[in-house]
Chain A
Amino acid sequence: MSTHKPGNRSLANPRTLAALAVSGLLLGSAVMAAEGPGLGKPISEAQLQGWDLIVAPDGTGLPEGSGTAAQGQAVYEQKCAACHGMQGEGTPGVPALAGGSLTATPPVMTAGSYWPHASTIFDYVRRAMPPLAPKSLTDTEVYQVTAYVLHLHGIVERDFVLDSASLPQVKMPNAGNFIDRSQVQ
């Protein structure tokens, strides 16, 4: 790696620095304090509304809107079922979404049986599905389809209203069975 360490932030040599100072290039203290030239342009979180698609398990990032499995069935059958199957059973080369068990031989790992957080379904469908037209579903449609996928595995009722308040409360069957290895570095 380079020898440019955080504790050693001075520029190359004092004479260069003096020359820069004399020529007026060292404007303000930011140039001296930062490791870089400080070219980042300020932006506000408001400007990222609709662009930032990250949804965390605690619901952070969930948009306005809501949907039920009953509403999601039509969307699912129109936009998802061709690949994932009418009951989320999957087709050759495409993962199943519902059913299956981790104690079967071999284990069947579906969104219903395996995924630890409902937020991941919402996040992934919104950013990446369907593969030929990702990000084409409205937020309402994503709530509806997420509710339907959860319903296919029997996790929520058909008329359960999924929204930013209820989604983080959904208990996934396999939650709690993941061992966090992130500190093993």
Chain B
Amino acid sequence: MQNNNKSEPVRSDERITLLSDQVAGNGLLSRRHLLGLGLAGAGGLVTSNVLAADAGVLTRSAWSMAPGKDPSEYGNPSSYAAQVKRLAPAPNTISPGTGASRTPLHLLQGTITPNSLHFERHHAGVPDIDPAQHRLVLHGMVRQPLEFSYEDLLAYPMVSQVYFLECSGNSGANSGPTVTDNSAGGLHGLLSCAEWTGVRLSTLLDEAGVAPGASWITATGADAASLGRSVPLDKALRDVIIALYQNGEPIRPEQGYPMRMFVPGWEGNVSVKWLTQIKVTDGPANFRDETSRYTELLPDGKSLQFTYPMGVKSVITAPSGQMTLTRRGLHEVTGLAWSGSGAIRRVEISADGGRTWADAHIDGDQRELALTRFRLPWLWEGAEAVLQSRATDSAGNVQPSRAAWVAQYSPANRYHYNGIQSWAVSAQGEVKNVYA
């Protein structure tokens, strides 16, 4: 989008070539055709005249003429990429440390979130925990209550798996009656994806010996809020890990250093950070964060409690809110899809507000409970458009429209929002969040 060529229409012969492979209305194209042409061919079709005009005599830059910096102990991004950072609020003066920062989804590619950009949600700030003094206690309905140090856990067999993590309140702004002007990260950035490595909770529960009649675990963290959540025992034994590493390095303080309980696919709040206690019980504790919060009020006054898996969902990250298309021609529509109930099987994209849809190309493996990247070429010729994406997961769940989602709940509910995101593109190329 660096070439400012708004006034340059796509030449008619190129247009015919491209539109012969249109797969849905308003310019969505087949990716297979473009791949067949090769990247240079496809780019050349639309921008060859621009390149010819821009290319002057190339000169060598200063950095090619003198040695650069020495190797360093812990790397940093380029100073030119300094804008790629979390969207963080002003400090909370009433309840210090309480709040959230969001992953800038619209500034990232691929599916793995760098550790410095993983979203945060804290309920009483980030504790500065000395791992030598930290303990994980397993007790309650067990044969033998046990205490583990951080060093103990490092000696256990570990598993590594890429998982998304999404806050239950993610995208909640779109549940409200008034549309919010914001970016993809600002709206949907309580979502990240990392490779988590740790010890299976089942290994530790086996060691303590779960007593007959036990059916839940109740877990608390060592932060000032001592945040607690309850998890059914069958899930705890199935795939919950005590995560010690995040993308290969010790997990960050914001993510629970030295250890967090990681509950794959489920609302982020149950993946208790700074984990210090697991009490095996025969029922949920009904903590504040599973009664007052993280429950969904329905239109009839009843509420859903212990809604755990995150619903099937997708969002286009480019073009997305607050971006501006600065040239006409070929663009890639790309975004992320995920589901707490399995893998992503299909993502459809519409450029005409849902009247016609085309299947997007899905990158790489369709991993369970991880972010999936999708893409589709789009020929934008300056007409108004509404871009949408709709995901389907391996369990057959289809992402609902915003209207269908809103109809399910009380207007007071903002949790578990997974309605279709609509980005309106104006004739001037401005992209905005809309309800469509």
A10-50, CB under 8 A of B: which get 1 and which 0? 00000000000000000000000011111111111100100
Chain B residues, Cβ within 8 Å of A93: 94
Minimum CB distance partner of A57 in chain B: B286
Chain A residues with Cβ below 8 Å from B292 are 95, 109, 111, 114-115, 120, 124
What's the Cα separation between A63 and B207 when bound, in Å?
Answer: 29
Q: How many A-B residue pairs lie within 8 Å, measured between CB atoms?
A: 182
CB <8 Å contact, B281 and A1? no
Contact A123 B309 (CB under 8 A): no
Contacting residues, chain B, for A184 (C-beta < 8 A)? 307-309
Tell me the count of chain B residues lying within 8 A, CB to CB, of chain A.
66
Q: Is the CB of A116 within 8 A of B291?
A: yes
Instruction: Kindly state the separation between the CA atoms of A109 and B297 in the bound complex, as whole angstroms.
Output: 9
Min Cβ gap A119→B in Å is 7
Q: Looking at the assembled complex, report how far the CB atom of A100 sits from the nearest CB atom of chain B, in whole angstroms.
A: 11
Given contacts A127-B228, A179-B304, A179-B305, contact A117 B291 (CB under 8 A): yes
Please indicate the chain B residues that have their CB under 8 angstroms from the CB of A111 in the complex: 292
CA A37 – CA B156 in complex, angstroms? 6
- Given A127-B226, A131-B96, the answer on whether A48 and B297 have CB atoms closer than 8 Å is no
Q: Which residues of B contact A114 (CB under 8 A)?
A: 291-292, 303
Interface size class of A (residues with CB under 8 A): 35 or more
Taking the nearest CB of chain B, how far is it from the CB of A170, in angstroms? 13
B210: min CB distance to chain A, Å: 13
Assembled-state Cα–Cα distance A103/B225 (Å): 31
How far is B234's CA from A81's CA once the two chains are assembled, in angstroms? 42
With contacts A36-B203, A185-B232 taken as known, whether A128 is within 8 angstroms of B224 at the C-beta atoms is yes
Contact in complex: B156, A36 (CB < 8 Å)? yes
CB pair A4–B157 under 8 Å, yes or no, is yes
Closest chain A CB from B424 CB (angstroms)? 27
Q: How far is the CA of A78 from the CA of B175 in the complex (A)?
A: 38
| CB closest residue in chain B, given A108 | B412
> Per-residue CB proximity of B177-218 to A under 8 Å, as 1/0?
000000000000000000000011011101110000000001
B232→A182 contact, CB < 8 A: yes
Which B residues touch A178, using CB under 8 A? 291, 295, 302-305
B286 and A34 within 8 A (CB) = no
Residues of B at the A interface (CB closer than 8 Å) are 94-96, 98, 123-124, 137-139, 144-148, 152, 155-161, 199-200, 202-204, 206-208, 218, 220, 224-228, 232, 234-235, 239, 277, 279, 281, 283-288, 291-292, 295, 297, 301-309, 410-412
Chain A positions near chain B (C-beta within 8 angstroms): 1-2, 4, 6, 34-45, 48, 51-58, 60, 83, 93-95, 102-103, 105-107, 109, 111, 114-117, 119-120, 123-124, 127-128, 131-132, 134-135, 177-185
